[in-house]
């Protein structure tokens, strides 16, 4: 398989780090904070109830599906208001959530692989999540970042992929999008005209890789780690050409 790759767009959650441990940490840290600062809220909205409220808020406001931050704030606001808490606690509560959200534990291979890829090609983060690359300490490895909440539409919408290509100054056919999600990342990228790389980690699915579900389209590349993509780029230097040299 031969195609030019002049830039990378990269998903974050479940591609560089697993999100599930972050979600567990968020619930625990926020519950501890509420127990200290608003015991009535913690009593009325223990972890399981707060989780249910979050799902209710998300389902009730599909117009904000591209903005997880506003949905999280709305969840906290509802819990504080219904428990009769001081609404001045909203922003400190959100900051507690956001600090926990940006404590990530990388997949064992991903940080080194990301550094290797960034040394070869420009990378733009394209995410539906609300990770803060500066807080996490990865900002220097990305030339651009596009969050769905800022862009106004989420993957798999073509517009968010095209916005990333415009920022990179590279046509979609020469941009490789890398991500874990079949629909949001691979199908979205392919339909937007980008090349696609599916990171299909077996450990995310009880030790078994996912089966590809679509007959009509497939990813250009599939690897079980980000390191394998870095190895592929090293092994195919004629495919991976820096934008500046093109």
Domains of the chain in sequence order: 7-17+107-245 (3.40.50.1000), 20-101 (1.20.120.1600)
In this prediction the pTM is 0.91
pLDDT tens-digit readout, 70-100: 999 999 999 999 999 999 999 999 999 999 9
Over residues 111-123, the mean pLDDT reads: 97
Q: CA-CA distance, 146 to 71, in Å (whole number)?
A: 18
Over residues 181-194, the mean pLDDT reads: 98
| Phi then psi dihedrals of residue 161, to 5 deg | -65, -45
Q: CA-CA distance, 46 to 17, in Å (whole number)?
A: 27
| 204: confidence class by pLDDT, cuts 50, 70, 90 | low
| 202: confidence class by pLDDT, cuts 50, 70, 90 | confident
pLDDT on residue 237: 79
Instruction: Supply the Cα-derived Rg of the chain in whole angstroms.
Output: 19
Residue 242 has pLDDT above 70, yes or no: no
Over residues 217-246, the mean pLDDT reads: 82
Q: CA-CA distance, 67 to 166, in Å (whole number)?
A: 22
Report CA-CA distances (Å) from 35 to 17, 30, 32, 89: 29, 9, 5, 13
HSE-up of 189 (CA within 13 Å, CB side)? 31
β-pair partners for 123: 8
Vertex 75: Cα angle to 71 and 76 (nearest 5): 120
pLDDT tens-digit readout, 138-165: 999 999 999 999 999 999 999 999 999 9
Over residues 188-206, the mean pLDDT reads: 91
pLDDT on residue 9: 98
Q: CA-CA distance, 224 to 111, in Å (whole number)?
A: 15
């Amino acid at each position: 398989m031969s195609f030019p790759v002049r830039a990378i767009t990269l998903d974050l959650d479940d591609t560089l780090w697993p999100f599930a441990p972050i979600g567990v940490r968020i619930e625990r840290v926020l519950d501890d904070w509420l127990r200290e600062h608003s015991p009535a809220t913690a009593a009325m909205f223990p972890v399981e109830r707060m989780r249910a409220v979050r799902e209710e808020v998300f389902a009730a406001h599909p117009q904000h599906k591209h903005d997880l931050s506003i949905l999280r704030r709305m969840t906290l606001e509802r819990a504080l208001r219904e428990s009769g808490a001081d609404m001045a606690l909203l922003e400190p509560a959100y900051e507690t959530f956001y600090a926990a959200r940006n404590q990530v534990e990388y997949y064992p291979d991903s940080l080194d692989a990301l550094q290797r890829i960034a040394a070869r090609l420009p990378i733009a983060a394209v995410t539906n999540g609300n990770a803060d690359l500066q807080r996490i300490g990865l900002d220097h490895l990305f030339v651009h970042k596009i969050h769905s909440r800022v862009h106004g539409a989420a993957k798999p919408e073509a517009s968010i992929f095209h916005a990333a290509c415009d920022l990179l100054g590279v046509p979609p056919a020469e941009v490789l999008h890398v991500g874990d999600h079949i629909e949001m990342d691979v199908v979205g990228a392919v339909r937007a005209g980008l090349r696609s790389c599916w990171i299909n980690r077996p450990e995310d699915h009880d030790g078994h890789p996912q089966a590809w579900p679509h007959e009509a389209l497939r990813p250009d590349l599939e690897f079980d780690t980000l390191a394998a993509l870095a190895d592929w780029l090293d092994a195919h230097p004629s495919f991976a050409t820096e934008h500046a040299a093109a």
